[in-house]
Structure 1
C-alpha cells in the first residue's frame, strides 16, 4: 500500500478524492473532516484546554517516566525531537523536548499542556492512531490531517502502569529529517520496556526489603528450626545450631563450600538455592553418607542486594519422617498419561499413539519443538509399559561434554582413562537395563557415538570403554528431537540407519500455538499444582489476561506457560486472581501491549453458548454438593476433580454454601 504524500493530501482536502493509500489513513482523514477540523489550522493554542480540578494520577506517573528519560536517554536523542505524554483522553500532560529551540518550535505550534491530541480535536496524528487501535502506531509527514504537521513524523503507544492499567499515551515527535519512522517506533518501544522494567524493579525492591528483614531474623527468631543461609551458587554463608545437628555438620564440615558435599540432596542444594522465588514446602530428600535418609519440607526465602540483584537464599528444613531404606534406583519416572492435559486434535492423536505403543517394546521417536513435553510423554510411555517397575534413565545428548560423552553413555572400566573412577562406572544405557532410556536431543549426538549406539541396539549388548567384555542389555529406547533428522541424514550429520532404527514409531508433539484451545486446561492444571506447592489459593487469571494468553504464540511452548504461571503464582500475595502486576516481565510486555482482543462495544458471537456452559457447570456442581450432602471431598470425587479445584469452582460460580 502506498504511503501518503503531499499530492494525496491536497487531492483529498481540495477535491474529496480518496487516494489509493493505507486505508487507516483515509478513514482517519474522513473522520477528521466529519469533525469539521480545519486542515489549515496554524496553531493549536486556539483550541480549548481542559481544566483539571485536581492533578490527574497520570501526571505523577509521567513525571517518573520523564525522570527515566533524563537518566537513560540523555544525549541519545536528536535535538529536533520531543517526548509528548497524554492522559487517557488524549490531553497533553507533559512535554519533554530534547533541545530548547525545538521546545520553542513546538510551543509556537501550540503543542502545550492541556491541549487535546485526540482525532476529533486535531485530526490524524500518532496519538489518535494509538488511541483508536490501542497499539504502537506511527504517522509521518503528509499522513497528518493538519498541514502544520507535514514537516514532522512521530510514533505513539498506549502506556500502562505496573498493575496493567492504562495511564495514557506516549509519543516521540520529530522533524521529518530525523531518522526513519520505524526507528522512532523502536525508540518508543525501548522506552516502554525500560519504564516497565523500572516499575517492576521498584516493586521488587519494596518486596525484597521486607524479605530482607525476614531473612535477617530467620536464623534466630525460631531457634528450633534448622536454617541455612546460602549464596545464589549454593555456597554456605551461615548455619544455625539446629541445622548443624539435623544435617550432621561438624565444625570441620561447616567450612565446606557447599551442602551438596556434606550429603546428597534431591533436588540438589545448588538447584534449590539458584532459584530466586519465595517458595514453601519444597519436598526434599536428604541421604547421608552412612545411608540414612530423611524426608523434609524446605521453605525458601530469597534475598537481594540494594541493586535488586538476587544474592542468596535462606533455607528452613522441616523434617517429615526419618526413613531407613535399602539402596534404590534413583531412576524413576513420575509422569503418567493422566498428567498430559489437552483436548485438541494434535495432543489427542499424540497421546493415543503413545498409549498404544506403550504396550509394545518397539523404539519410539518423539518429534517436537522445545517445551512441548517430550520427556513427560517418554515417562508416561514407560509407566504404561511392562517395564514400569524398571529404571527410567534420561540423558540430554546436547548437554554432555563431547570428551566424556562415550563413557557417560556406555560406562568405563577401571583406569580406562585419566580421571576415570577407580572402580569403573556403569553408563546410562547400562543403568537403564530392564527399563527405558530416554535420549533427548538425539540430533546433537556425535556421529562416532551414533555408530556405537546403533551397534548396541542391533546386538542388545554393551561394552564399557576400556574393556572387551560384552554385557547383555535389555532396554527400550525412546529418543526425542526438535530437529529434522531426515534433513540431517541428507547432510551426513545423522546416520540414516540409526534414524530408521529409532523411528519405528514417530510421535509428533504440537506447538502450543497450534493447540491454543488447551491453554485454559493447562492454566488450571498448573495453578492447582503451584497452589499446592506454595500454599496459595489462586483461582485463576483475570479474564483479560487469560484471553491474551490464548492469543500469544508461545515460542517456548508449554514450558514457557508453566514457568510464567509458577512466577505469577509466587508473586500473588493472597489475591483471588493473577493480575498484570504478577506477570513475568518477558511475557508481560508482549501481552499487555498487544492489540485489544475485544473492543468494549464488540459482540461476543459465543456469548449465549458461554452462558449456557456456565449454567450447566453451576448445575453440575450444585448437584454434586447435594448428592454428597455438603461433603466437599465426596462432591469433588463425583465430579472427578480435586478438592482444591472444587472450592475454586464454588467461588468462581458464586455457589452458596450447602444448607
Structure 2
C-alpha cells in the first residue's frame, strides 16, 4: 500500500493526457485495464455500478443456480470467518453481475453505496478497473488496491478476485472476490480468493461426475435397445460423456470433444424444450432422449440413426459390413460354454437351419457369426434382422422387399429385402418368435421353395440362403399356445443350439470381466484397471439377468467412471450390491469380519480357486488379479485347507483333488493325484 501516492499521480497524469508508464509503481495489468476503461468511456466520477431490477436478479440467480449451489459451502464459511474481518466475499457471473455476498455485515452494508451488492454489475466497461471486472477481462487472478481502481469513489476499496472455470471443459463461469475497505488491507486476500475459487471448481467437478454417472447408467440400460445404432451421450453442457465408436467418427472435427456452442448455453435450469430444439438443429435426423435426475435435466442420449440413400437401387443393395468371428473368440473355459462351442463347431459345416436358443444377452449372434464363418457360406453375406419391436408392415418390407410403387410412400426405385441380400450367405433372424403369424407362412414358403416375391411384384427371384434363427422364448411352448406355426418351427429348428446363461458359467465371469475392462480401458486410452477382491465376490454372486451383455455394460460403465485404476465395491452399480447377500466393506481384508461371514469365506475360496484355474496355477498372476500380495494368497490357501508343501526346488499345491507343481519359474503345473 506504500505505493499508493505514486499510483495516484500516475492515475491523474493518465486522466490528463492519456499517457501510461508501467513500471515500478504501476503494473502492466493495471495500466492495460485503465486503457480499456478509458476506451469504454467510463466516467471516473461515477460512484455506482449499474444495478439490476429485482426480476433481473431473480433470473440471474436462477440461471447461475449450479454456480450458487457449488459455492454454498464457501459462502457459509465466509459468513463465519469474515464476519468480523472487515471483508466480504462476492460471487459474480460472467457479466460481472453480483449474485451472492457473505461476510462482515458492516462491510456488506457499506458496499451498497457503490452497488457492491447482489444485483450490481461490475464489468470493466461500466465501472472501470476493479477486481471483478478486471479478472473477467484478463481471465486470471488479480488484486486491485485502492487508487488502482479507475473510478475515484471506488478507490476506497481493496479487492482480490479469481476466475471460476468449469473443471470439465474450462468454460468461464464467474468470479469469486474478496473485498474490504482500503484501511483493512490484507495481503492474503488474493490467496483466499484463489482458494475459494478452486473449492468451487472442485464442487462443480463432483456434481458433474455424479451427473455423468447417471447418464452412463441410463446409456447402459438402453444400449441393448439400440445395438445397431450410433449413440452420443451428451451432458447438459454439450460435453460428450461417451459415444459408440462409429458415432465418434460421424462427429465433425470441431465437435470431437464438445458439441456446438448453442448446446452449451443451457446451464442450471430445466431446459428440455430448448435442449431438444438445439439438439434437433445440430442433429436433424437423430432421436433424442432427455435424461433427468431428481426432475433436473442432466443431459441426453442422441441416437444417430443410420440414413438410407434413396438415389439408386445400387445403394439399396450395398453389402453389409462383415464382422468376422471365430469360435476361438468366444471367451470362456467353463464346461457349459465349451460344450456349446463344440456342438456349434460340429453343426457349422452342414447347411441345416439352426435354432439358437438362450436368454437375452448370452451372445447368440456371436455364435451365429462364428457358425457362418466356419460354414460353406463363409464368404457370403451375413444379414441380421430383428423380428421384434417392428410394425408388421415394416417387417414384411424389410424381409421380402417391395416393388416400385407398391404402396403409398414406397421408394420410387423399389427395395431389396433382407432375404435377397442374404443370397449366397446367411440370414440371421433374431427374436423369430416375435414374427406375426400371417407372415410366418410367407417365410415358410420362401424356405421351402427357395423363391422370394417382393411385395407388389409377381416376379420370382431365386435365392440360396442358410437360416440361423435366434430366440429367448420357448418356441415349442409358443407352438402349443398357437402363437407360432408348427411347420415353420420344424423348418427352422432342424438343429437346436442352447447358449448357457452367465449364471451357469461362474468360472468364466472373471475372465469376461477382465476382458471387457481391458477393452474399455484401451478405447479410453487408459491402463487396464485391476479388480478389488470384494468387488469380484459381488460380481460372482450376482444373478446377471442380462447375462454377458449386462456384464459388458456394467464393466464398461465402471471403467469409464473410475479414476483410480482399481475397481472396487464403490464402483459397482447399486443394484448389484443390493441384490447380493454378501456385502463386504471396501476396506475389509480378505477374511474381514463381515455379516454372513460363512458365505463370504465360501465365495472367497471359490474366487481364489477359480482365479488359480484361470491363471493355470500361476500364483503370482493369481495374486495380481485378486489385488493381494502373494504371501497373503499363501495364507488364504492354508486357511481354507488347501494344503501345500515347500522344497528348495518346487512348491506343490492340492486344489480340489488335483495337485499342481510349481518349479522355480513361478507356475503351478498339474500332477497326478495319489
TM-score normalised according to structure 1 size: 0.47
TM-score normalised according to structure 2 size: 0.46
Q: Which has the higher contact order (CA 8 A, sep 6+)?
A: 1
